[in-house]
Structures are given as C-alpha cells and as structure tokens.
Amino acid sequence: AAIERAAYEKGFSAGEQAGYTVGEEKALMLLERLEDILTEMTELKKKVLTEAQPQVFALSVAMAKKILRDEIRQNPEVIINLIKAAMEKIERTGTITIKINPALKELIANHKPELLAIHPEIRFDTDPSIPPASPLVVGPEEEVITDLESQLTNLVEDLGEEIGNNNA
C-alpha cells in the first residue's frame, strides 16, 4: 500500500508538473499574442489619427470660417474693430485710405468720429469689388487686409507648415 501510495503521489506530482508546464507555455503564448495585439492596436491608432488629422483640421477651419461669417453678419461692428486694429498697425503719417464696399457706407458713417480719433487724415473710398466684410486699410507705406477669412487662411497655412514640420 505504501509503494502504491508513493507511486500514485509520484504520478500525480509528475502529471501536475506536466500540466503546470503546459499551462505556463499556453499562458506565455497568450501573453505574446496579447502583446502583438496591443502593438497592432497602437500602430492602428497612430495610423487612424494620422489619416484623420487633415480631415479634422479642414473641418475645424470650415467651422471657424462659418462662425466668423455668422459673427460679422450678426455683429457688423466687428468690422469697425478690424479697421481700428488695422489703423493701429500701420504708420499713421499722411493720409490713410479705407476702401470699403458700398454696403458698409452707413456703418462707417456711424463710426467715423471713432476712426478720426485714431488718425485725423482718413479718406474713405467705396469700391464694389471689396468684399463687404473685408475693408482695406491703406497707409502711405503699407496696406492691411482686414479680411478675417484671409487672416484665418494665413493662420491655417502657418499651422499646416508647423504641423508638417513637427511630423517630419
């Protein structure tokens, strides 16, 4: 009975060890597969983000342009603030010419004293080819485009270059 018991325990122990070894090998294989899947998922995430980035960027720009247009439509005084900012940027010696679309004539007339307070020598030219939301402020040496969409386009181009440089 003792020999039989010892043989049983030895066989049980050997079977247990063999089962443990097989289980450990399976666990290692599963861990390796899991690591492979995680690596694939990380690469897929990078790929999706890289591929989606230009589309997300373009969508963001389109949304920003729509918001700008809506803001100018709802609050035309924004145009006066743009003109003032442009006047502050340029050298204020001599006559400053502000080219506006005829649709802005009344708005400009209502805010003329504010503009003359910044610089007393202003000439207002109406030009139907100037977009309504994009007056042009021309000083003796330079001109400033007040078009928010152009400014946004320039910003987007700068950002695009910056993003391109960071990804390179």
Residue with token string 């994009």? 134
Q: What is the pTM for the complete model shown?
A: 0.59
| CATH among 3.30.1490, 3.10.150, 3.30.2320, 3.40.50 for 76-167 | 3.30.2320
pLDDT at 124: 93
**Per-residue pLDDT for 116 more than 90?**
yes
Return all residues near 139 (Cβ < 8 A) that are at least 6 apart.
Answer: 90, 91, 92, 94, 96
Looking at per-residue pLDDT, the higher value among 122 and 61 belongs to 122
The per-residue pLDDT of the chain, averaged, comes to 86
Query: Is the pLDDT at 168 greater than 60, yes or no?
Result: no
Task: Provide the H-helix boundaries in 75-142.
Answer: 77-89, 105-118
Contacts 24+ apart (CB under 8 A), 144-147: 144/86, 144/89, 144/90, 146/79, 146/82, 146/83, 146/85, 146/86
